[in-house]
Chains A and B, each alone.
Chain A
Amino acid sequence: MTTSTTSQRSGLSSTALALIPIAIAINVALGQLVQSVLKLPIYLDSIGTVLVGVLLGPLAGAITGLLANVIWGLTLAPSALPFAAVAAVIGLMAGYAGQYGAIYSWWKMALAGVITGVVAAAISAPIATYVFGGVTGAGTDVLVAMFQNLGASVLGASFMQGAVSDPLDKTITYLIVWAIISALPKRLLARFGAADQ
């Protein structure tokens, strides 16, 4: 329907260039809103990343995730920087989910959420182990202690902790993105290129 010029170096269209920063800001804003207004025990801090991945593909998704973590490091806690790789892979996975047409049914999106969650857990475990010693200071550290007490290694316990909590958060995130995108007006979908995928 519409086009825009593309930057030669990164391969991002001006539409992607415009959407990605907003998506990053949404990650941060929603992370706060869901906690402060609804007081629900979920993070939902990768909705923007999954949205961009599903709409604009793996590259844009990966860039969104990566830079969202850099922004998190720049503004709040530089200790978040090592996990940028995890966020990038979440965006990448969302991009592939989008390319395989997962957006057209809720259960495919839920499945993509579970898979993304497991992969995210697998990548964050070594980072958490070697940089943070397996813990992050969040409530989920109790799970790490439990798994280690049951005989798991630091790496193993860190992965198991992630495998318990990440798929749930990511499945909810994917389902929310599904609900929002399937209710989008056609005109907007056409601009972001998902209508004819």
Chain B
Amino acid sequence: MNAVLQPYTPIALRNVTFTYAGATEPALRDVTLAVPAGQICAVIGRAGAGKSTLCALCTGFVPHFFRGRLSGDAVVDGLSIASHPIAELVRHVALVSGNAFSQISGARFTVYDEVAFGLENLGVPRPEMIERVEWALRALGIDHLRDRSPYDLSGGQQQRIVIAAALAMRPPVLALDEPTSQLDPPAMAELADVLRALSRQGITMLVAEHRLEWIADLAERVVALDRGAILADGAPADVLTDPRLCEHGIGWPRPAQMAARARAEGRWAPDRPLPITVAGLAAGLRAAASDQDSVNGQDNASCLPAMRPQNELDGVSPIDRDAEPIVTLDEVRFTYPTGVAALRGVSLTVRRGERIALVGRNGAGKSTLVRHLNGLLRPSQGRTLVGGVDTRTTTVARCARHVGVVFQDVRNQLFARTVRDEIRFGPRNLGFTPEKVHALVEAAIDALDLRDVVDEHPYDLPPARRRLVAIAAVLAMDTALLVLDEPTAGLDNASIGLLMRLIDDLAARQRSVLVVSHDLDFCYETLDRVVLMRDGQIALDRRFAELDDAEMEALDEDVGLPIALRLRYVSM
């Protein structure tokens, strides 16, 4: 690039303000942002802060698809957004969102044809089309999937197909809106590798994301948004440890939080900057420990951050064998009609007051196990007791008095006109008295901080709060066991904090919680017992505090370790 000329700036926004039609408050306020070529620029912020709007603006969907009032200058790859139609902008900038399934056109039957679909619509001549599709497949590392149906692939693979389809149109700019929202940790790591490789090829990226740890690893620059305005803009190490992030409810990545706590406890050098990666955290803790070692000879274990104040203070009490069992699985085997043996001899007892994490790779049998906890599936062999009753002799609706399940896809659950009606549905099904229903509903509304939106339609809320409504709706059924399937997916830090308090409160009231999650840090910080599933069997069933090295290794191999355990296990 000629240094004398004005350097090429793929994304150039100047004083951009945008208000959606019908809205009173602007979604973007006076945003000025210049992203240089090849940069990975992350955009963070709470739900509703304007991250998605910014992505939609840079790709022309604002204001051409989502209408509203736009002021200021938005220029992407040299084109004014306001004066070019989307059909033209797609050659210059592509939008990829986290929901890959919806972005697969569905009009083509193989990955190869799917990636070519946009090029057909643009009228690209066949030889060039083939060349571009081949390039895009290689760039995303999905060459081997070319003849498969896009719908037969995993979420992570679908995500890469969608990016390949966008890149085949050869845009130099890519806007990714919450790209990890449906990915598990290995797929997230792979996506980060792909994006880094694209950045090396000169593609400029805007990545809106709420998983700060992932951003800390990936981004070269972080922009924090708060209510549509830029709150902070700079290097990740600076922005992600900026105190204003905590003041505005965005929070810090875990390593920074843990280091800050360590600093407060004197286990982190006061002049050392806070880390945003686990490596940085480990190095800092090691340095502080060796300083102290030289002074008073403390051993390494003491530099463990006290991440679980409550649990550690409780001490490690053995599992209470006498507590009343809520659900008992006894040598349960389950084979689907397709012949897949999903459970191969599972025995598990959930007792009152327990907080359990159910973890394992995709396909290990977690979903099948969850469906046994309330009788949705009945064992092929063995038996399941819910509230002391064999699920084969009762109905799901009756099991629902003992076990409430919030499934991952909350769309399948929500149907009522208002948040309050939605929450009322479950307890009313259970036949409680009107007074009891009222009390339970109001308590659930407060527990998930939904008081300000009780009369709104669940779908008029941002997705994160929709998930909280779904949880409240099952919480109000006041079951002995609450099962949460991937409850932290799509939640910002503030909502996750709410969830942690809820689970603590339930345990204090002798209610049990079972969480299915890939978010090991959340599990470790909130729950006591970890059950690892592998190939339809329980490979490990322990309290987090009692894990030995071999068990940690097993956990690490399948699902990874929470940061706090990683610091202990990977010897320092």
Partner-A contacts on B (CB < 8 A)? 21-22, 64-67, 85-87, 106, 415-417, 457-460
Asked if A1 meets B22 with Cβ closer than 8 Å, knowing A183-B417, A185-B457, A187-B459, the reply is yes
Q: Does A21 contact B (CB under 8 A)?
A: yes
Asked if A183 meets B21 with Cβ closer than 8 Å, knowing A3-B67, A21-B106, the reply is no
From residue 1 to 22 of chain A, which have CB atoms closer than 8 A to chain B? 1-5, 21
Q: Which A residues are in CB contact (< 8 Å) with B416?
A: 183
Asked if A1 meets B21 with Cβ closer than 8 Å, knowing A21-B106, A183-B416, A183-B417, the reply is yes
User: Per-position contact with B for A171-197: 1 when CB-CB < 8 Å, else 0?
Assistant: 000000000000111111010000000
User: Per-position contact with B for A33-62: 1 when CB-CB < 8 Å, else 0?
Assistant: 000000000000000000000000000000
The 8 sampled A-B contact pairs (Cβ below 8 Å) are A1-B21, A3-B64, A4-B65, A5-B86, A5-B87, A21-B106, A183-B457, A184-B459
CB distance from A178 to the nearest CB of B (A): 13
CA distance A132 to B85 in the complex (A): 51
CA distance A2 to B415 in the complex (A): 24
From residue 133 to 187 of chain A, which have CB atoms closer than 8 A to chain B? 183-187
CA distance A186 to B416 in the complex (A): 13
Flag if A186 contacts B460 (CB, 8 Å).
yes
CA distance A184 to B415 in the complex (A): 9
Residue among B66, B87, B415 with the highest chain A CB neighbour number at 10 A: B66
CA distance A171 to B282 in the complex (A): 67
Asked if A185 meets B64 with Cβ closer than 8 Å, knowing A1-B21, A5-B85, A190-B22, the reply is no
CB distance from A5 to the nearest CB of B (A): 7
Q: Which B residues are in CB contact (< 8 Å) with A185?
A: 457-460
Flag if B460 contacts A1 (CB, 8 Å).
no
CA distance A4 to B416 in the complex (A): 29
Q: Which B residues are in CB contact (< 8 Å) with A187?
A: 459-460
Query: Top 8 closest A-B pairs, CB basis?
Result: A185-B457, A185-B459, A183-B417, A185-B460, A1-B21, A2-B67, A187-B460, A2-B66
CA distance A156 to B416 in the complex (A): 44
Flag if A1 contacts B67 (CB, 8 Å).
yes
Q: Which B residues are in CB contact (< 8 Å) with A5?
A: 85-87
Q: Which B residues are in CB contact (< 8 Å) with A184?
A: 457, 459
CA distance A190 to B67 in the complex (A): 12
Q: A2-B21, A185-B457, A186-B457 are in contact. List 10 more A-B contacts (CB 8 A).
A: A1-B67, A2-B67, A3-B65, A4-B65, A5-B85, A5-B87, A183-B416, A183-B457, A184-B457, A184-B459
Residue of A nearest to B21 (CB): A1
CB distance from A21 to the nearest CB of B (A): 7
Residue of B nearest to A186 (CB): B460
Interface size for chain A: under 10, 10 to 19, 20 to 34, or 35 or more residues? 10 to 19
CA distance A183 to B64 in the complex (A): 28
Q: Which B residues are in CB contact (< 8 Å) with A186?
A: 457, 460
CB distance from B329 to the nearest CB of A (A): 25
From residue 102 to 126 of chain A, which have CB atoms closer than 8 A to chain B? none
Residue of B nearest to A190 (CB): B22
CA distance A187 to B20 in the complex (A): 11
Flag if B65 contacts A2 (CB, 8 Å).
yes
Q: Which A residues are in CB contact (< 8 Å) with B85?
A: 5
CA distance A188 to B411 in the complex (A): 14
Q: Which B residues are in CB contact (< 8 Å) with A1?
A: 21-22, 67
Q: Which A residues are in CB contact (< 8 Å) with B22?
A: 1, 190
Asked if A188 meets B459 with Cβ closer than 8 Å, knowing A5-B86, A183-B417, the reply is yes
CA distance A184 to B65 in the complex (A): 21
Q: Which B residues are in CB contact (< 8 Å) with A183?
A: 415-417, 457
CA distance A1 to B416 in the complex (A): 24
CB distance from B415 to the nearest CB of A (A): 8
Q: Which B residues are in CB contact (< 8 Å) with A190?
A: 22
CB distance from B465 to the nearest CB of A (A): 13
Residue of B nearest to A183 (CB): B417
CB distance from A25 to the nearest CB of B (A): 10
Q: Which A residues are in CB contact (< 8 Å) with B417?
A: 183
CB distance from B90 to the nearest CB of A (A): 12
CB distance from A105 to the nearest CB of B (A): 17
CA distance A5 to B416 in the complex (A): 32
Q: Which A residues are in CB contact (< 8 Å) with B457?
A: 183-186
CA distance A46 to B463 in the complex (A): 30
Q: Which B residues are in CB contact (< 8 Å) with A21?
A: 106
CA distance A113 to B104 in the complex (A): 35
Q: Which A residues are in CB contact (< 8 Å) with B458?
A: 185
CB distance from B517 to the nearest CB of A (A): 29
CA distance A21 to B106 in the complex (A): 10
Q: Which A residues are in CB contact (< 8 Å) with B65?
A: 2-4
CA distance A183 to B414 in the complex (A): 11
CB distance from A169 to the nearest CB of B (A): 22
CB distance from A14 to the nearest CB of B (A): 8
CA distance A3 to B459 in the complex (A): 20
CA distance A194 to B66 in the complex (A): 17
CB distance from B46 to the nearest CB of A (A): 19
CA distance A4 to B65 in the complex (A): 5
Residue of B nearest to A182 (CB): B417
CA distance A190 to B21 in the complex (A): 10
CA distance A74 to B189 in the complex (A): 41
CA distance A187 to B458 in the complex (A): 11
CA distance A185 to B415 in the complex (A): 10
Residue of A nearest to B415 (CB): A183
Residue of B nearest to A1 (CB): B21
CA distance A21 to B417 in the complex (A): 26
CB distance from B424 to the nearest CB of A (A): 14
CA distance A190 to B457 in the complex (A): 14
CB distance from A160 to the nearest CB of B (A): 38
CB distance from A36 to the nearest CB of B (A): 13
